[in-house]
């Protein structure tokens, strides 16, 4: 198998996409030559095969990252900033190709893929600015015969495992802060969507980022475990399911107690009060769940609506959901593409069947499209109860439940009735209510009169079983990718 493949996209763009592992700034075959197939979820056809990293390949990537660490982490920090800025420029230059890769491999509409690419460039550029501003502190700690200070140092080789719902954006959220802080990286992309990280690796090399600083090990089945259990990887950052997050943490504990940050699942409440701007609330409820085919960790998958507007809201949301164009991601009119994999399609359809069997009422949708590809109609369930599986568990698809409430206290209880705590939405024109409820909700992010609304300066992460640590913003680099070193010097000023 060649180490790159030429892909001609449905929009006429064509590009050479590497298929090798990216180690030491070279694309190489896996040492045993093993590959795995990558599919197009819109057609169910195979796109290509990519090389699969085994344990020896992960070791080689760690060797490369270790060798690069001293110079990258403790050399000129403004050089790191310059090179990462160059990388963000290259991402913008190659935006249409990157967006086409995301649409082909993940299934998201081009309109969304373009936004992901821009947000990725913005994230890398913002963290590039941090590279030479990771200030330490001088501490008043004793009399003048002590000089005490804290340095912010990089952690070392970081392992990163990213998901398939935002393949390039999650790459950027992980790589940007890790590299800006001076760490080196071994990253595993998701098995269903490895292509954008491989193409981005060509840009990493072109930007002049030194060999070994960022290594990409595509993999399937075992690669993630090799990373989380590796004795020379000093930190692991994982985004994915809560169940796998537990395994990651166990493996970190059982190996070398590597530092752990986890961005996991959610079952986020989206609350609509009677005094909300109704049409806007409907828009954000629709976008909150159906954006990116519902494959969003913070999806507003539990909608709570105040009783006096419940019937009107339900009617409007149904009409809005039925207007979402589901189809070919390369068609400009498309709002929702296919689910990213067959596994995911089947998982969502089984939740839908569960909902029906438990007695929930399908208001719209409730089935896949009658065509090739992993498409599901936007689905609304009403008449749900809190103990139903579809209300408790993360579905990770275009399926929402809707529940009536009457008082603010009641909806706070309902919203917090979950083991998760990733995000929440509140729709109201009353600022006092908005701030009161925001304070009471157990979630890492609260959106008021908006939803799925990210900015690279605003930290993101979970309460409860939605995760540990934060990505983005100051926390996303200082807490997640540096470690403080305290130095206390005893002087003898009288001498």
Lookup: tokens for 407: 């008082």
Place of tokens 């160059």: 86
CA dihedral (180, 182, 475, 296) in degrees, to 10, reads: 60
Rounded CA-CA distance 491/495 in Å is 9
Stretch that binds ligand NAP, among 14-22, 260-268, 327-335, 404-412 (CB under 6 A): 260-268
Q: Residue from 225, 417, 450, 483 that binds ligand NAP (CB under 6 A)?
A: 225
Stated as kind and residue range, the H or E segment containing 93 is: helix 77-93
- By CB under 6 A, residue 80 contacts ligand NAP: no
CB of 461 to ligand NAP, least distance (A): 11
Stretch that binds ligand NAP, among 37-45, 63-71, 237-245, 330-338 (CB under 6 A): 237-245
Nearer to Mg ion, 221 or 359 (CB): 221
Residue 263 bears catalytic tag: yes
Subset of 214-233 contacting Mg ion (CB under 5 A): 221
Helix extents (H) in 358-430: 389-392, 408-415
Q: Are 372 and 407 contacting, i.e. CB atoms less than 8 angstroms apart?
A: no
Residue number with the shortest CB distance to ligand NAP?
Answer: 224
Cα 157 to chain center, whole Å? 20
The one catalytic residue in 52, 102, 263, 295 is 263
Q: In what order do the strands lie in the sheet with 361-364?
A: 361-364, 379-382, 399-405, 302-306, 269-272, 423-427, 445-448
φ, ψ (nearest 5 deg) of residue 458 = -105, 115
Subset of 393-432 contacting ligand NAP (CB under 6 A): 394, 396
CB of 237 to ligand NAP, least distance (A): 11
Nearer to ligand NAP, 295 or 328 (CB): 295
CB of 136 to ligand NAP, least distance (A): 33
Nearer to ligand NAP, 240 or 329 (CB): 240
Label residues 294-306 b or e (16+ Cβ within 10 Å = b). Answer: bbbbbbbbbbbbb
Nearer to Mg ion, 21 or 209 (CB): 21
- By CB under 6 A, residue 161 contacts ligand NAP: yes
CB of 275 to ligand NAP, least distance (A): 32
Rounded CA-CA distance 275/432 in Å is 12
Q: From the CA atom positions of the chain, what is the Rg in Å?
A: 23
Nearer to ligand NAP, 35 or 239 (CB): 239
Residues marked active site are found at 263
Which parts of this chain interact with ligand NAP (CB under 6 A)?
161, 163, 165, 188, 190-191, 219-225, 228, 239-241, 244, 247-248, 251, 263-265, 297, 347, 394, 396
């Amino acid at each position: 198998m060649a180490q790159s493949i030429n892909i001609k996209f449905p929009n006429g763009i064509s590009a050479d996409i590497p298929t090798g592992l990216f180690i030491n700034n070279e694309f190489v075959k896996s040492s045993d030559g093993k590959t795995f197939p990558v599919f197009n979820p819109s057609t169910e056809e195979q796109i290509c095969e990519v090389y699969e990293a085994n344990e020896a390949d992960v070791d080689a990537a760690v060797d490369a990252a270790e060798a690069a660490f001293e110079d990258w982490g403790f050399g000129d920090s403004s050089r790191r900033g310059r090179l990462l800025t160059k990388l963000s420029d290259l991402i913008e230059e190659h935006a249409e190709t990157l967006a086409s890769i995301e649409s082909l491999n993940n299934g998201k509409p081009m309109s969304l893929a373009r936004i992901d690419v821009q947000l990725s460039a913005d994230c890398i550029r913002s963290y590039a600015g941090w590279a030479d501003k990771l200030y330490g502190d001088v501490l008043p700690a004793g009399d003048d015969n002590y000089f005490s200070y804290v340095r912010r140092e990089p952690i070392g080789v970081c392992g990163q495992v990213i998901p398939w719902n935002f393949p390039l954006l999650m790459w950027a959220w992980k790589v940007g802060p890790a590299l800006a802080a001076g760490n080196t990286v071994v990253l595993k992309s998701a098995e269903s969507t490895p292509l954008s990280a491989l193409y981005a690796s060509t840009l990493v090399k072109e930007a002049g980022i030194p060999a070994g600083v960022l290594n990409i090990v595509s993999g399937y089945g075992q690669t993630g475990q090799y990373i989380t259990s590796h004795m020379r990887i000093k930190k692991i950052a994982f985004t994915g399911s809560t169940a796998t997050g537990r395994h990651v943490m166990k493996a970190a504990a059982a190996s070398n107690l590597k530092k752990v940050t986890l961005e996991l699942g959610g079952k986020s409440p989206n609350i609509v009060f009677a005094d909300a701007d109704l049409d806007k609330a409907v828009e954000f409820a629709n976008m909150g769940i159906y954006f990116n085919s519902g494959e969003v960790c913070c999806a507003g998958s539990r909608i709570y609506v105040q009783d006096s507007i419940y019937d009107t809201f339900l009617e409007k949301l149904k009409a809005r959901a039925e207007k979402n164009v589901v189809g070919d991601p390369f068609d400009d009119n498309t709002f929702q593409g296919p689910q990213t994999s067959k596994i995911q399609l089947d998982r969502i359809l089984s939740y839908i069947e569960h909902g029906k069997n438990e007695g929930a009422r399908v208001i719209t949708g409730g089935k896949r499209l009658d065509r090739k590809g992993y498409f599901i109609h936007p689905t609304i369930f009403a008449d749900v109860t809190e103990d139903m599986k579809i209300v408790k568990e993360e579905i990770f698809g275009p399926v929402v439940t809707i529940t009536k409430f009457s008082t603010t206290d009641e909806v706070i209880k309902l919203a917090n009735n979950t083991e998760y705590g990733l995000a929440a939405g509140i729709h109201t024109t009353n600022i006092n209510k908005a701030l009161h409820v925001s304070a009471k909700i157990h979630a890492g992010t609260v959106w008021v009169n908006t939803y799925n609304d990210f900015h690279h300066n605003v930290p993101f992460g979970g309460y409860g079983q939605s995760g540990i640590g934060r990505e983005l913003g100051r926390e996303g680099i200082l807490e997640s990718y540096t470690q403080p070193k305290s130095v206390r010097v005893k002087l003898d000023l009288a001498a």
